[in-house]
Amino acid sequence: MTVHVFASLQPKPEHRENVALALKSLVSSTRAEPGNITYDLFIAGEGDEGFYLIESYKDKVAFEAHKVSQHYLEYREKAAEWLQQLPSVKVLYPLDVLSEHQT
């Protein structure tokens, strides 16, 4: 079953560019993972300085592999001091999703 993730990250203002660069690198590396379906980075604009990731993995095994990947662990270590708080992460499992029915 596909695993979807929504993550919200709030950088400290003085580290926003560092977070942006680190996330762009993380996106590139994660998209190359065998079980990754999507790994998309968003900003909201309009005074919201946060970053948002929408991720999809082919299954829970692929998602767990992502969480222990070298690039993910390096990002977390590097960005720990750049964020205002721990990222908010929601792991979502399909209940009624159109793409799940198209496979």
Residues 22-44 have pLDDT tens digits of 999 999 999 999 999 999 999 99
- What pLDDT, in 10s, does the model give residues 52-66? 999 999 999 999 999
Distance CA 79, CA 23 (A): 9
Distance CA 53, CA 10 (A): 12
Residues of the domain holding 72: 3-93
What's the CATH code of the domain at 49?
A: 3.30.70.100
Task: Tell me whether residue 98 is in a domain.
Answer: no
Task: Tell me whether residue 102 is in a domain.
Answer: no
Number of domains in the chain: 1
Q: Please say if the pLDDT value at position 73 is more than 90.
A: yes
For position 23, what pLDDT does the model report?
A: 97
Q: Please say if the pLDDT value at position 101 is more than 60.
A: no
Distance CA 7, CA 86 (A): 10
- What pLDDT, in 10s, does the model give residues 76-100? 999 999 999 999 999 999 888 886 5
